[in-house]
A and B are shown apart, each in its own frame.
Chain A
Amino acid sequence: MQSAGSPISAQRLAGYGVAAIAAILVLYPVFFLLQASLDVGDPQVRPPTAYGFDNFSGLFQYPQILLNTLTVSFAATVMALVFGFVMAWILARTNVPGRRSFEQLMAVPYYLTPLLGALAWSMLGAPESGFINQIWRELGFSGHIIDINTPYGIAWVMALFEGSVAFVMIAAVMKSMDPSLEEASQVMGASRLRTMLRVTLPLVLPGVLGAGIFVFAEMLGSFAVALVLGTPNRYYVITTAIYQLVQQYPPKIQTAAAMGVSLFAVMFVMLFIYRRIVMGGSYVTITGKAFRPRVADIGPLRYLLLGVCVLYLTAAVALPLLTLLWASFQKIAVAFPHVSNWTLDNFRAAMSMNAARSALTNSLLLGFATATIGTVLMGLLAWLIYRSRLPGSGAIEYVVMFPQAVPRLVFAFGLMWAWVVFPVPIYGTIWLLLIAYLTVFLPLGVRTIASVMMQIDKSLEECAQMCGASWGFRTRTVTVPLLVPGLVAAWLLLFIASVRELGASILLMGPHSKVITPAIVESWFGTSTELTATLALVQTLVIAVAMVVLVLVTRRIGAQRVD
Chain B
Amino acid sequence: MQDTKPHIEVRNLEIYYGNVPAVRGVSFSVELGEQLTLLGPSGCGKTTTLRAIAGLEKPTGGEILIDGIPVYSSARGVNVPAEKRGLSMVFQSYAIWPHMTVFDNVAYGLRVRKTSAADIKDKVARALGLVQMSDYAGRSASQLSGGQQQRVALARAFVFSPSVLLFDEPLSNLDAKLRADMRIELRDLQHRLGITSVYVTHDLEEALAMSDRIVVMRGGVIEQTGSPDEIYRLPSSAFVADFVGSANLIRGQHRADLSTTETIALETKAGDIVHGMAYGRPVGTEVEVSVRTVHLKLSLDRPSGAVNVWSARIEQTVFQGDFTQVHLAWGGQHLIARCAAMEPIDVGQEVFMTVEPKRVVVLGG
Nearest Cβ distance between residue B330 and chain A, in whole angstroms?
A: 44
Whether the pair A3, B80 counts as a contact (CB closer than 8 A) is: yes
> Looking at A8, A467, A477, which has the most chain B CB atoms within 10 Å of its CB?
A467
> Which residues on B sit within 8 Å (CB–CB) of A4?
79-81
Among the 9-residue stretches A60-68, A121-129, A291-299, A456-464, the one with 4 or more Cβ atoms under 8 Å from chain B is A456-464
Among the 9-residue stretches B2-10, B89-97, B218-226, B337-345, the one with 4 or more Cβ atoms under 8 Å from chain A is B89-97
Whether the pair A562, B82 counts as a contact (CB closer than 8 A) is: no
Question: Is B56 close to A, CB under 8 A?
Answer: yes
Bound CA span A470–B87, Å: 14
Which residue of B is nearest A482, CB measured?
B99
Whether the pair A481, B56 counts as a contact (CB closer than 8 A) is: no
Whether the pair A467, B109 counts as a contact (CB closer than 8 A) is: yes
Question: Is A388 close to B, CB under 8 A?
Answer: no
Question: Is A98 close to B, CB under 8 A?
Answer: no
Whether the pair A460, B160 counts as a contact (CB closer than 8 A) is: no
The residues in B between 155 and 171 inclusive whose CB is less than 8 angstroms from any CB of A are 156-157, 160, 166
Cβ contact of B82, chosen from A2, A466, A481, A560, cutoff 8 A: A466
Which residue of A is nearest B113, CB measured?
A468
Nearest Cβ distance between residue B68 and chain A, in whole angstroms?
A: 15
The proximity string for B residues 60-103 relative to A, scoring 1 for CB distances below 8 Å and 0 otherwise, is 00000000000100001111111110111101110101110000
Q: A468-B86, A468-B160, A478-B97 are in contact. Are A462 and B56 (CB under 8 A)?
A: yes
Question: Is B247 close to A, CB under 8 A?
Answer: no
Whether the pair A463, B98 counts as a contact (CB closer than 8 A) is: no
The residues in B between 107 and 128 inclusive whose CB is less than 8 angstroms from any CB of A are 108-109, 112-113
> Which residues on B sit within 8 Å (CB–CB) of A468?
83-84, 86, 109, 112-113, 160
The residues in A between 1 and 57 inclusive whose CB is less than 8 angstroms from any CB of B are 1-5, 7-8
> Which residues on B sit within 8 Å (CB–CB) of A478?
97
Which residue of A is nearest B79, CB measured?
A4
> Which residues on B sit within 8 Å (CB–CB) of A560?
98, 142
Question: Is B54 close to A, CB under 8 A?
Answer: yes
Question: Is A191 close to B, CB under 8 A?
Answer: no
Question: Is A528 close to B, CB under 8 A?
Answer: no
Which residue of A is nearest B98, CB measured?
A562
Which residue of A is nearest B104, CB measured?
A477
Whether the pair A473, B79 counts as a contact (CB closer than 8 A) is: no
> Which residues on A sit within 8 Å (CB–CB) of B80?
3-4
Question: Is A209 close to B, CB under 8 A?
Answer: no
Which residue of B is nearest A469, CB measured?
B112
Whether the pair A464, B108 counts as a contact (CB closer than 8 A) is: yes
Whether the pair A466, B83 counts as a contact (CB closer than 8 A) is: yes
Q: A7-B81, A468-B160 are in contact. Are A459 and B95 (CB under 8 A)?
A: yes
The residues in A between 473 and 499 inclusive whose CB is less than 8 angstroms from any CB of B are 473-474, 477-478, 481-482
Bound CA span A477–B81, Å: 19
Which residue of A is nearest B156, CB measured?
A467
Bound CA span A513–B105, Å: 50
Bound CA span A553–B340, Å: 61
Nearest Cβ distance between residue B158 and chain A, in whole angstroms?
A: 11
Nearest Cβ distance between residue A4 and chain B, in whole angstroms?
A: 6
Whether the pair B82, A3 counts as a contact (CB closer than 8 A) is: no
Whether the pair B79, A562 counts as a contact (CB closer than 8 A) is: no
> Which residues on A sit within 8 Å (CB–CB) of B98?
482, 560, 562
Which residue of A is nearest B70, CB measured?
A3
Whether the pair B142, A562 counts as a contact (CB closer than 8 A) is: yes
Whether the pair B112, A467 counts as a contact (CB closer than 8 A) is: yes
> Which residues on B sit within 8 Å (CB–CB) of A481?
99
Whether the pair B93, A457 counts as a contact (CB closer than 8 A) is: yes
Question: Is A465 close to B, CB under 8 A?
Answer: yes
> Which residues on A sit within 8 Å (CB–CB) of B97?
460, 463-464, 478, 482
> Which residues on B sit within 8 Å (CB–CB) of A459?
91-93, 95
Which residue of B is nearest A462, CB measured?
B56
Bound CA span A413–B127, Å: 63
Whether the pair A460, B95 counts as a contact (CB closer than 8 A) is: yes
> Which residues on B sit within 8 Å (CB–CB) of A2?
77-78
Bound CA span A4–B81, Å: 6
Nearest Cβ distance between residue B171 and chain A, in whole angstroms?
A: 16
Cβ contact of B81, chosen from A1, A5, A460, cutoff 8 A: A5
Which residue of B is nearest A457, CB measured?
B93
> Which residues on A sit within 8 Å (CB–CB) of B54?
462, 466
Bound CA span A470–B81, Å: 9
Whether the pair A465, B56 counts as a contact (CB closer than 8 A) is: yes
> Which residues on B sit within 8 Å (CB–CB) of A473?
112
Bound CA span A3–B72, Å: 9
Bound CA span A5–B79, Å: 10
Whether the pair A467, B77 counts as a contact (CB closer than 8 A) is: no
Bound CA span A560–B100, Å: 12
Bound CA span A422–B88, Å: 52
Bound CA span A229–B295, Å: 88
> Which residues on B sit within 8 Å (CB–CB) of A467?
83, 88, 108-109, 112, 156, 160
Which residue of B is nearest A7, CB measured?
B81
The residues in A between 541 and 563 inclusive whose CB is less than 8 angstroms from any CB of B are 560, 562
Bound CA span A466–B83, Å: 5
Nearest Cβ distance between residue A387 and chain B, in whole angstroms?
A: 13
The residues in B between 303 and 358 inclusive whose CB is less than 8 angstroms from any CB of A are none
Which residue of A is nearest B109, CB measured?
A467
Q: A467-B156, A482-B97 are in contact. Are A462 and B78 (CB under 8 A)?
A: no
> Which residues on B sit within 8 Å (CB–CB) of A1?
76-77
Bound CA span A7–B166, Å: 23
> Which residues on B sit within 8 Å (CB–CB) of A8?
81
> Which residues on B sit within 8 Å (CB–CB) of A464?
97, 108
Whether the pair A465, B79 counts as a contact (CB closer than 8 A) is: no
Which residue of A is nearest B165, CB measured?
A466
Whether the pair A462, B82 counts as a contact (CB closer than 8 A) is: yes
B interface residues, Cβ below 8 angstroms from A: 54-56, 71, 76-84, 86-89, 91-93, 95, 97-99, 108-109, 112-113, 142, 153, 156-157, 160, 166
Known pairs A462-B82, A473-B112. 13 more at Cβ < 8 A?
Answer: A3-B71, A3-B80, A3-B84, A465-B55, A465-B81, A465-B83, A466-B82, A466-B83, A469-B108, A469-B112, A470-B83, A474-B83, A482-B98
28 contacts between A and B (CB under 8 A): A1-B76, A3-B80, A4-B80, A5-B81, A457-B93, A457-B95, A459-B91, A459-B95, A462-B54, A462-B89, A462-B91, A462-B95, A463-B89, A463-B95, A465-B55, A465-B81, A466-B82, A466-B83, A466-B166, A467-B83, A467-B88, A467-B156, A467-B160, A469-B83, A474-B83, A478-B97, A482-B98, A560-B98
Query: 9 tightest A-B contacts by CB?
Result: A467-B109, A463-B95, A459-B95, A562-B142, A466-B89, A459-B91, A465-B82, A468-B112, A469-B112
A interface residues, Cβ below 8 angstroms from B: 1-5, 7-8, 457, 459-460, 462-470, 473-474, 477-478, 481-482, 560, 562
